[in-house]
Amino acid sequence: MSLAESPTSDDVFGGVIGQNTAVAQLQAAASAPVHAYMFLGPRGSGRRQAAFAFAALLLSEGSDGEAAERHRRLCLAGTHPDLTIVEAEGAALRVTEAEQIIRHGTVSPVEGARKVIVVGGVDAIEEAAIGKLLKVIEEPPPSAVFVLLAEEVPPDIITIASRCVTIDFVAVPVQLIVTVLVTEGVNPKRAKNAAAASGGDLARARLLATDDALAERAELWQSVPSRLDGTGAAVVSLVNELKEAMDGATEALEAQQLIEIAELDARVEVTGERGAGRSDLVARHKREVRRLRTDEMRFGLATLSRHYRDVLIEGPSGVADNALAAITHVGDAMVRNPNESLLLQALLLDLTTD
């Protein structure tokens, strides 16, 4: 959102698509919020943007005119001084992050009577951190509203989920993403390709729509099965090429991030806003790069899966069955071990063996 735009209370959810039920629930809840919510749904369903929009309603309450517009604008940008975002630095939320959540919850709001604490990836939380998070949710500070983001509710966090109001988010249909991109001026063919590669994530689809190398990366992943000739040299070469392609995929995001930093600096210079949050923005940018690389890996795995599923359409194939099992294993292992080189090498060696 640019500096010139001023969101009203009616359009703060404009960036959340395909979630009419969830949006209606949050709009109704904003007038009398409870202490904790869990936004539950798949990656790319708009949970994070919805959390910022919900915060925009909560933190602009009691204000009007330019003051209310400022609260909403800062919330939607994730830079409001009374909006805190806590996400795992690694693969899972640790005790240090749980303690950070508690610390933020107990600190008084900077500008109003309320603060909103958004916690990402609650379903990936270390056992030692569960008790600490549960305690602050069970005994919340009176000024804090917690918004927990999760893709699912594993057994370990059922108790935490039971203390929250659950807001369900559904997968965004690919065709809806295509429609949004075309409406925003993206070429229909490019919009279709970006939506198909986005995993149902509108933000990622927008980024991919500006990525001229998307088709080349798709072709590279599609070429993997035919290039595995049984030698270690082929595996090493492919791993290097795939990693270089993922490096290139970050360029569009990094360009977008530079714009966000410039806008933040310009806003601070003009308005002198408190809690501008440059360090928080830089930390968020690092997480975004990490998520993008994870998304690129999942995009590649999905491309490989389609190849082997096409093989199975032709008839039974033990090779294809084993390949799909290996791809699934790597997809699961990414949560515990984000080392791209090791994961790719292990996968391609498995595919070579098959």
> Could you tell me if residue 18 is left (phi over 0), alpha (psi between -120 and 50 degrees) or otherwise beta?
left
Instruction: Tell me the mean pLDDT in the region 84-88.
Output: 88
Asked if pLDDT for residue 49 goes beyond 90, the answer is yes
Q: Does the pLDDT of residue 298 top 70, yes or no?
A: yes
**pLDDT above 90 (res 196):** no
Query: What residues contact 344, with CB distance under 8 A and at least 6 apart?
Result: 238, 239, 242, 243
**Residue 257: pLDDT band with limits 50, 70, 90:** confident
Q: If pLDDT is split at 50, 70 and 90, which confidence band does 289 have?
A: confident
pLDDT of res. 202: 85
pLDDT band at 9, cuts 50/70/90? low
Residue 300 pLDDT more than 80?
yes
The confidence band for 249, taking pLDDT boundaries of 50, 70 and 90, is: confident
The 10s digit of each residue's pLDDT in 149-163 is 999 999 999 999 999
Structure tokens at 286: 């690092």
- pLDDT band at residue 206 using 50, 70 and 90 as cut-offs: confident
Three-state SS at 61: coil
Percent of the chain with pLDDT over 90: 56
Answer yes or no: are the C-beta atoms of 17 and 46 closer than 8 Å: yes
pLDDT for the residue numbered 295: 85
Is pLDDT at 22 greater than 60 in this prediction? Answer: yes
What band does 1 get if pLDDT is binned at 50, 70 and 90? Answer: very low
| pLDDT value at residue 351 | 92
Give me the phi and psi of 166, to 5 degrees please: -90, 130
Share of the chain above pLDDT 70, in %: 94
Q: What pLDDT was estimated at residue 55?
A: 96
Indicate whether 209 pLDDT > 50: yes
pLDDT value for 5: 52
Dihedral pair phi/psi, residue 39, rounded to 5°:
-90, 115
Q: What is the mean pLDDT of residues 182-195?
A: 92
Domains along the sequence of the chain with CATH: 20-168 (3.40.50.300), 211-353 (no CATH)
Q: Can you give the pTM of this predicted structure?
A: 0.70
Mean pLDDT computed over 294-302: 88
| Pairing relationship of beta strands 36-40 and 115-119 according to DSSP bridges | unpaired
**pLDDT one-digit tens code per residue, 101-125:** 999 888 889 988 899 999 998 998 9
Could you report the per-residue pLDDT of 51-69, keeping only the tens digit for each?
Answer: 999 999 999 998 888 999 9
Mean predicted confidence (pLDDT) in 297-314: 92
When the pLDDT of each residue in the chain is averaged and rounded to a whole number, the result is 88
| Residue 246, pLDDT above cutoff 60 | yes
Task: Compute the chain's Rg from CA coordinates.
Answer: 22
Contacts 24+ apart (CB under 8 A), 58-62: 58/30, 58/33, 58/114, 58/116, 58/145, 59/83, 59/111, 59/112, 59/114, 59/115, 59/116, 60/9, 61/30, 61/31, 61/114, 62/112, 62/113
pLDDT in tens, 270-285: 766 554 567 777 877 8
Write down the pLDDT at residue 3. Answer: 38
Answer yes or no: is pLDDT of 2 > 80.
Answer: no
| pLDDT score, position 30 | 94
